[in-house]
Structure 1
C-alpha cells in the first residue's frame, strides 16, 4: 500500500527554521533598501509593490505568490507594455534568487548530533491520531491491501534540505503495528515537488488564470508552476503526479492549502474521489483548546471548505470528496528524538 505525506513550510517551522513568509519579508525589505541606496537607478517592480505596503498582512507563501500574479493584472503599465513584461520576468527571477539565498542561510543551521526523526511513532500512531469517528477508515484501507508492505512517500513542498539531512540519519524500515501480519513500513527518500534551493526552485502561481492573459507563452513558463516544472525537462511534474495517482492514503501536513498550489489539491481531490482515498489534513492551531465543541466543529468545516474550494472540483462531487476528508487539529508528525 502507498501512503503519501505531502508536507509544507509548517514542518520546517517545527524544526526551528525561520522560514515564515514574514521572516523573508523583513529580511528582504532591509536588503532591498540597501540595494537601492548603493545601485543607481536600480528598482524591482515586485519589491516596489510589496514593500510599499508597510502593514503587509500576508500570512503564507501562497499569499505572496498569489500577489505576484495579481500584480500582473492590476497594473496596466505592466500588462500592456512588452518591455515592462520582460522587466517583470527579470525582476521575478531576481526574487527567486533572493529567496534561494535567504533559505540557504536558514538551512545551514547545525542539526544537533544524534537527533533523528521518529518515523515509527508517527506511522504506528496514524490511526489513533485521528478523531475516533474516522479511525475505521485506516483499518479498512489496510484490510483492502492485506498482503503487501507499506511504502511511505514524502512529497515536500519545501526547498530546504533539513528534512533530507534528518531522513538520512533516521530509521527507514520497521514493523507495521497497525497490521496483524509481519509486513513493514518502508520510507522512501523525500521528493521535492517544487525543487530545492540548488535545483529548480519553483515559485509562482498555479495556473494561467492567476496572471494577466497578456503575457506570452514563454513568459508564462516562468510564472506558472506546472509550466516551470515541465520546461525544466526532468519530468518533475510527472513524478509528482504519479505519486499522487498511486496513493492509497494521502496526508497533508504544514500546508496552507493556498490557491497557488491548486493544481496539486486538484490532483489529490481527483484521486480521492475516483478511488475512495482518504485525505488526512493536519491543521495547526497554536494553543489549541478542544473544550468548545462549536469551535472545533467550525474548525473542521473551515479546513474542509478551504481544501474543497481550492481543489476546484465540480459542485456535484463536493459531498463525495468531503466524505473522504479527515481533519486533525493541533497534532504533530515526524517529531525529533535522540537516537
Structure 2
C-alpha cells in the first residue's frame, strides 16, 4: 500500500525552529534596502499586518504578494521586488537551518509516529482504521513524505540521503513500512520559492496572462522550470495512496493544487487522518463531534468535490485534535 504524508511548517515549529512567517516577517522588515520599490513592499506588508492582526501562515505572505502586483506597471520592477523577497527568504532559512536540531530530538519517536499515526485516534476510530487497512495486511507499506517546508529537518533527524530507503517500523499487521522518499515541493533552503497557486491569484489583471510573470510567480511553473518532476511525482503518489496524513499544514489558498488532489483521491478507496492544532481550543466532550465536523468541512471546502461527493467523503476523514504527534523533544532528565 502507498502511504503519503503532507507535512507543513507545524513540524519545524514543533522542533523549536523559528520558521513561521511572523519570524521571517520581522527579519525581512529589519533588512535595510535603499530601493524605493522594495521599501514600498515592506510598508505594504507592515500595513497589511496591522490591519489583519498577527500573521500566522506563509500563505498570508503569498496572498499579500499576489495582491501587491497591482502596484506595478512594469514586469521588470515586479520581478526585482519578488527576487529580493525570495533571496532574503533563502538567507533566513539557511541561517535557521544551521541552528542545532539534533540535540535532544527523539529519532525513534519520529519513526514510531511515521509508522503508526493511527495510535493518536480515539479507540472507536482506531477500530475503523484497522478494518479499513486489513485488506493490505499481507503487503509492505511504501511511504512518501511530501514536505511543504524549505528545511531538511526530517532527513537530518533520520540521517537520510536522497536515494535511501529507510525501514521506519512495521505495520499493525507486522509487515515492513518503508520510507521511500521525501519530496520538497517548495524547494530547499538553498533555493526556496514562494509563489501563487494559479494566475487568478495575480491581483494585477494586466499581468495575469503574461507568461514571463507566471514563470516566476506561479509555483507549478517554478517546479516545471526547475525540472525535478517533484509536482508530477507527488501528484502520482497522492493519486495512488491508500492512506493520506496531513500534519502541520494550513490548507492555504496558494497550495490549492494539493488540497484538490487530495479531494480527488477521496472519491475512491482512501482514508485521511488530518492532524489539527489549535491551542485556543480546549474541547469539552460534548463539543468534540462539532469540532471534528468543523475541520472535516474545512478540508472538504478546499477540494473541488461536489456536494454529493463531499457527503460521501465525509466519513473517510479522521480528525486528530491537539495531539502529541511529532513532538520530538526529549524530556530533560
- TM-score interval, normalised by the smaller of the two chains: 0.7 to 0.9
> Can you list the C-alpha shifts for 1:58-96, whole angstroms capped at 9, x where unaligned?
221112111211223xx3x52xx3x2x321122112111
Select the residue among 94, 98, 101 that pairs with 1:111. 101
Question: What TM-score do you get using the length of structure 1 for normalisation?
Answer: 0.86
Quick one: distance in 1 between partners of 2:176 and 2:232? 27
1:19 & 1:323 partners in 2: Cα distance?
33
* Change in 2 beyond 3 A, CA 1:217/1:112: closer
Distance apart, 1:43 and its partner CA: 3.2
Query: In 1, are the aligned partners of 2:14 and 2:328 still within 8 Å (CA)?
Result: no
User: Given the alignment of the two structures, is residue 167 of structure 1 paired with residue 158 of structure 2, yes or no?
Assistant: yes
Q: CA deviation at 1:217?
A: 1.4
**Using the alignment, how far apart are the partners of 1:110 and 1:24 within structure 2?**
18
| Residue 87 (structure 1) aligned with residue 72 (structure 2) | no
The correspondence of residues 2-21 of structure 1 with structure 2, limited to 5 A, is 2-21=2-21
Matched, 1:277 2:254: no
Displacement of 1:303: 1.7
SS at match of 1:251: strand
Q: Where in structure 2 are there 5+ consecutive unaligned residues?
A: none
Aligned to 1:191: 183
TM-score for both structures, normalised by structure 2: 0.87
Structure 1 CA distance for aligned equivalents of residues 15 and 168 of structure 2: 23
Counterpart Cα distance in 2 of 1:241 and 1:40? 40
Match of 1:249 in 2: 243
Residues 181-330 of structure 1: pairs in structure 2 closer than 5 A: 182-199=174-191, 201-211=192-202, 212-215=204-207, 216-273=210-267, 275-286=268-279, 288-294=281-287, 296-330=288-322
Q: Deviations over 1:295-330 (max 9, x none)?
A: x33322222222122223333322122222211101
1:119 Cα deviation after fit: 3.5
The aligned runs of 1:31-42 (5 Å cut-off) are 31=31, 34-35=32-33, 39=34, 41=36
For residue 25 of structure 2, what is the aligned residue in structure 1? 25
Q: Which residue of 2 aligns with 1:98?
A: 88
The structural deviation recorded for 1:238 is 0.8
Aligned length: 321
Matches of 2:40 and 2:217, distance apart in 1: 15
Tell me, in whole angstroms, the C-alpha distance in 2 between the residues paired with 1:164 and 1:300: 32
